[in-house]
Amino acid sequence: MSEKNIKELDDIKQQALLGLSSLGSVDQLENWRVRYLGRKGDLTNVLRGISNLPIDDRKIVGSKANKLRIYLEEEYQVNLSKIKSGNLDIQDAIDITLPGRKVKMGRLHPSTTMIREIIQAFNEMGFQTVEGDEIELEKYNFDMLNIPADHPARDQWDTIWIDSDQHDDLLLRTHTSPMQARVMEKNDPQVRVIVPGKCYRYEATDATHEWHFNQIEGLAVDTNITFADLKGTLYEFVKKIFGPSRKVRFRCDFFPFVEPGVDMSIDWNGRWIEIMGAGMVHPKVLEAVGYDTEKYTGFAFGMGPERISMLQNEITDIRHFYSNDLRFLSQF
């Protein structure tokens, strides 16, 4: 008989403690007290029934029930003072008189904003966006672009090589131009793509040079593409980004993968700032991907969006972009 009562007391204890753990206010605690310790409460019922038990059981059950009553009363007091001191009472803990504070929102990095703006300008001119890997093979970064191993032009792109047991020809791409070859290898003409992405060079940094930066490559290949198409496309791009009256300068430049080659600069308070290299795709590059050079011609360009953002937003040092200073980043 006493076993049944003892089991009943154990159950009451278990339920009472479980109920206690989810209480948050004085009212809830009072309900809890009435349920377990009140005149008609679960534990009081057991205590009342003790007089009907056989004499031996009375002692055992009575002592256990009394211990439980004392224990639960103590728990009640402890929780009451906790709630009153604000530790537990969630409702009372919220000070609704505290003025609201503005939530700090994140925002796009200025490089990302610039890249998206440039991509949009070219998408509107019919260029499709593709992306490539930052870890590249020497073959695509150099050889396929008419820059063989002994070519002095390689020095122009100081390369960060990747140590690997299996490969001795892995590098962090120094420009986005390897994607020219990769896109043409996979697609027959016509091609009209824009390729944004990160590039890396082992070079000293200064106000206009970072060792890691973004580039946006452009490539158009078709029948009858001429240098006039290149100039027209880039003028249109400058108009879209800088407005109709910004001065632009083309100058001859050398890149082994174009012929003729140019660089394009933008007027910045009376100074020319170079923003991209460009030119007509070299026949050797077209040949390397199996294009018919009698039939197809193309133009290509590669620009630095951080440099363009500097011009657009009057930023005097490119190193701000990656120094993670919120005073700088939050201005854009």
Catalytic site includes residue 300: yes
CB of 186 to ligand FA5, least distance (A): 18
Catalytic site includes residue 201: yes
Written as one letter, the residue type at 254 is F
Catalytic site includes residue 175: yes
Task: Choose between 16 and 310: whose C-beta lies nearer to ligand FA5.
Answer: 310
CB of 283 to ligand FA5, least distance (A): 14
Question: Does residue 127 interact with ligand FA5 by CB under 6 A?
Answer: no
Question: Does residue 307 interact with ligand FA5 by CB under 6 A?
Answer: yes
Question: Does residue 177 interact with ligand FA5 by CB under 6 A?
Answer: yes
Measured distance CA(75)–CA(258) in Å, rounded = 84
The catalytic position among 130, 183, 258, 288 is 258
Question: Does residue 109 interact with ligand FA5 by CB under 6 A?
Answer: no
Catalytic site includes residue 182: no
Q: If you compute the radius of gyration of the chain from its CA atoms, what whole number of angstroms results?
A: 38
Question: Does residue 136 interact with ligand FA5 by CB under 6 A?
Answer: no
Sheet (strand 297-303) strand order: 128-129, 191-200, 212-222, 297-303, 271-281, 258-268, 248-252
Catalytic site includes residue 167: no
Angle between helix axes 55-84 and 2-21 (nearest 10 degrees) is: 0
**Do 217 and 176 meet the contact criterion of CB atoms below 8 Å apart?**
yes
The catalytic position among 16, 157, 192, 285 is 157
Residues 276-305 contacting ligand FA5, CB under 6 A: 276-279, 300-304
Written as one letter, the residue type at 131 is E
Question: Does residue 210 interact with ligand FA5 by CB under 6 A?
Answer: yes
Written as one letter, the residue type at 250 is F
Question: Does residue 201 interact with ligand FA5 by CB under 6 A?
Answer: yes
Select the residue interacting with ligand FA5 from 58, 64, 109, 209 (CB under 6 A). 209
Q: Which residues are catalytic?
A: 157, 175, 201, 215, 258, 300
Q: Where along the sequence are the contacts to ligand FA5 (CB under 6 A)?
A: 175, 177, 201, 203, 209-210, 213, 215, 217, 255, 258, 261, 274-279, 300-304, 306-307, 318
